[in-house]
Amino acid sequence: MAMGQQDEKTKRMRELLSSFYGTGSPESDTPTGYGRRDTLQGINLPNFDVDHYMESLLHNTPLDRLLQRHVEVAAEIKNLDSDMQMLVYENYNKFISATDTIRRMKENVAGMESNMEHLLDTVTMVRAKSDGINASLCERRERIEQLNGTRSLLRKIQFIFDLPQRLRKCMNAEDYSTAVKYYKGALPILQAYGQSSFRSCKEEVDELISTLTDKLQAQVMDQAVQLSSRAQAVTLLQQLNHSVDSMVERFMTEHWDYLLGNFVAFGAGKPETNEPLTVGFYPQQGLKALDTTSDVQKRLVEKDLIQDFIETAGTFRTLFPSYEMRLIGAATKLFDESFYLKHFVGAGVLISDITQMDKLVPEASLPERASKALEDAVRQHVATKFSHLSDQIKAAIVEEPSSIPGATADVSRPLKASLDRAQATIIQGSLDVLQDLKLLLDNSKEYLLRWRDEYIDLVQGGFQDLFTNLVDHFLSLCLKSGFNSASASPDKLPEATPSLVLLLALLSVYIYQTAVPQITEVVGTCFVGGGVMGYEARPAFVPSEICRFFHSTAERLLQQYVDVQAQKLSVLVRKSVETPNWLKYKEPRDVRMFADLLLQEVEILEGEVQQLLDPGSTRTHRHTDSSGSIGSSRSASTREDGYSGTSHRSNMSHRARNQLLERDVAKLFTERVEIFTKLEFNQASVVSTVVKMTLKSFQECVRLQTFNRSGYQQIQLDMHYLRDPLHNLLDNETVVDFLLDEVCLAAAERCLDAVPLEMAILDKLVQAKLAKKESSKSTSHK
């Protein structure tokens, strides 16, 4: 309790003091103290309402409490009084001590002023003295500095005058680096005053330096000198601002050209000395010789060359470290040039050497170049092979049979011989190429391994191209003959004779029947794999497509052969029909010339065809019974309709009508011969097609003419003459008879007065003609 009162008392004291000193206690501002309860606590606040307090106290407090309160307040007042007395006393003490301190301070400060003034005087005096000393010394110092400068200048001049001597001494001692150092030191002065004061000196120095340069250059070039000193010489030269470019060039020309020359000579010398390099032309020997001693020798020589290269490159690098680019350029150039000359056979060796070279000249990326060059070489090799083969085949086709030695065995059948030869060329050539390329693949496993599939594709693509090319070639050869002036191709292809067309046709058959399957088989066994381009892409070699090309080509060529032959004969026939004036024709006495010509042509044709084609079946054309043919039965009915429609017309003579009827009836009951049958690859088909076309043309030509009686008889006679020989030639009587009859009938229809000759007379005339032919033949033989 006493403690609590004590606390409250001190608190109030502090508040009072603070209100006395400051503006007010922090608590006094808060209205909470006042508003909380009307207690005595708010008594210190400025707005303490005494009346209100008193009133509320009187109102609210019972008497006993009021009395108690009175006692409390009285005690409090007493306390406060004593406290105040205490405070006043304390403050008074403090005031007295402060007054004492102030009095003492006043006494101490009094002597200060004079002391300070004295100090200032002393300092001023010291400063004036120091200035005096400085001034007296300055003049002397300047003098000393001037003297110093003069002295160093004199020393420099001395150095320059001594420079020639020093340089000479250094050069005698071969201490080139010191000489260069001296020279470098003197260089600015020499450059500045070289033209005036030190002219003679400079000239001397220049002279010396040029000799020095020469010496250094000689040292660089001297291969006997140690590499380090040579390198140092190069550095010195560079310090002397001497252009090293020319040196590099010289070095290059001397060493590199020598090296290059070696390489070139090596490459060029190859074909003469070593067989392997002629692989392109003699594949078998070339590849067999791969392991022979000569090849080993060649490799050794090659090794030497590589060694040379490495040494030279090393030297260059040491000498001219800053000319790296130049080296790379030179190396690349050397590499390219020499490598193109080099054949791929030795390339395997190179690959390993190149890794060494690569260490020296890493930037030149030689391995990539090498493998690229190798790839190029192989590609080129394959391409050469195929183009060579293609040329061979093409040459074999157009070659004159007589120019072939050994083809004499079958002179009577030159076409057959040509065909055999061409066939042999194709299959043998292709197999040789395959063999060769196979060997290459086997021998060069290591470095081809990486793109083996590509290589296989390459070979297969080669065959594809070869055959597509051949088809094109065949067709272009023949189209030329078929289109003559119309063809715009300016190249000088040899004119394709009909026999060549036939030859090509058969060659095409051979290719798709024999050659392509055989080659496919070999390719299948040797060149497995391939297809780098993925499965969705077409394979490089598509035998079925090739076969299809050749199949259609063969048919087209055969058709063309037949067309050309038939056209030739048709021209003959047409002339024979169009030339005479049939209306004024004299009585026939002899068979006309053209018949013999015609037979002759057919015989030649047969001669050609016999050489190349199988005889084939003798009856190649179909006979259709007209009663079974829809067309002709229809024709009968329509014809009758036509007649019935016009039958009332009367001015038609019975004879004409009978003739037409006879003709129609005859047509109905004779066998209907198909003139136009499908062409087949055999003698009978080809010859009979040509003859049929010719006779049909004959008929058409006859229909365009008008004959008198003798003209008709002449045609009759000609046909009669042709009948027997054509029978013999064609082995097929029906079709010949039919067509010859058609010609006669056409002539009869176009004849004003168709009276046929009797058979006896015809026979007689034909016999006479044959006899005459026989006698002329025998006389000509004599």
Binding stretches for another protein (CB under 8 A): 471-472, 475-476, 482, 484-488, 548-549, 552-553, 563, 567, 570-571, 574, 578, 583, 631-632, 634-635, 638-639, 641-643, 645-646, 648-649, 651-653, 656, 660, 664, 667, 675-676, 693, 696-697, 700, 703, 706, 749-752
**Shortest approach of another protein to residue 758 CB, angstroms?**
22
With contact defined as beta carbons under 8 Å apart, do 262 and 312 qualify? no
The sign of the CA dihedral 743, 724, 567, 583 is: negative
Six token digits for residue 231? 């390198």
Cβ proximity to another protein, 235 vs 476, nearer residue: 476
3-state helix, strand, coil in the chain (%, to 5): 80, 0, 20
Cβ proximity to another protein, 178 vs 626, nearer residue: 626
**Shortest approach of another protein to residue 545 CB, angstroms?**
10
Amino acid at 167: L
**Shortest approach of another protein to residue 578 CB, angstroms?**
8
**Shortest approach of another protein to residue 574 CB, angstroms?**
8
| 731 phi-psi bin (left φ>0, alpha ψ -120 to 50, beta other) | left
Q: How far is CA 637 from the centre of its chain?
A: 73
Neighbours of 9 (CB within 10 A): 14
Cβ proximity to another protein, 341 vs 745, nearer residue: 745
Cβ proximity to another protein, 110 vs 630, nearer residue: 630
With contact defined as beta carbons under 8 Å apart, do 523 and 542 qualify? no
Q: How far is CA 403 from the centre of its chain?
A: 44
**Shortest approach of another protein to residue 709 CB, angstroms?**
13
Six token digits for residue 284? 């078998």
Name, in order, each residue with C-beta under 8 angstroms of 437's C-beta and a sequence gap of 6 or more: 382, 385, 459
Six token digits for residue 317? 């690098």
HEC assignment per residue over 357-408: HHHHCHHHCHHHHHHHHHHHHHHHHHHHHHHHHHHHHHHHHHCCHHHCCCHH
Cβ proximity to another protein, 423 vs 697, nearer residue: 697
**Shortest approach of another protein to residue 258 CB, angstroms?**
55
With contact defined as beta carbons under 8 Å apart, do 48 and 34 qualify? yes
Cβ proximity to another protein, 209 vs 471, nearer residue: 471
Find the distance separating the first CA and the last CA of the chain, reported in whole Å. 183
**Shortest approach of another protein to residue 635 CB, angstroms?**
5
In angstroms, the CA 670 to CA 673 distance is 9
CA distances from 754 to 287, 565, 739 (A): 81, 33, 19
**Shortest approach of another protein to residue 442 CB, angstroms?**
36
Three-state DSSP state, 707: strand
**Shortest approach of another protein to residue 707 CB, angstroms?**
9
Cβ proximity to another protein, 103 vs 648, nearer residue: 648
Helix pair angle (593-612, 414-443), 10° resolution: 30
With contact defined as beta carbons under 8 Å apart, do 516 and 463 qualify? no
Cβ proximity to another protein, 3 vs 486, nearer residue: 486
**Shortest approach of another protein to residue 501 CB, angstroms?**
14
Closest Cα to residue 611, out of 385, 743, 421? 421
Six token digits for residue 760? 């006896």
Cβ proximity to another protein, 315 vs 626, nearer residue: 626
In angstroms, the CA 525 to CA 545 distance is 20
In angstroms, the CA 535 to CA 654 distance is 79
**Shortest approach of another protein to residue 409 CB, angstroms?**
35
Cβ proximity to another protein, 130 vs 633, nearer residue: 633
> Which run of H or of E encompasses 310?
helix 293-319
With contact defined as beta carbons under 8 Å apart, do 463 and 523 qualify? yes
Three-state DSSP state, 88: helix
Cβ proximity to another protein, 229 vs 469, nearer residue: 469
Cβ proximity to another protein, 205 vs 751, nearer residue: 751
**Shortest approach of another protein to residue 638 CB, angstroms?**
4
CA distances from 651 to 390, 751, 752 (A): 74, 21, 19
**Shortest approach of another protein to residue 700 CB, angstroms?**
5
Cβ proximity to another protein, 330 vs 546, nearer residue: 546
Closest Cα to residue 550, out of 659, 464, 665? 464
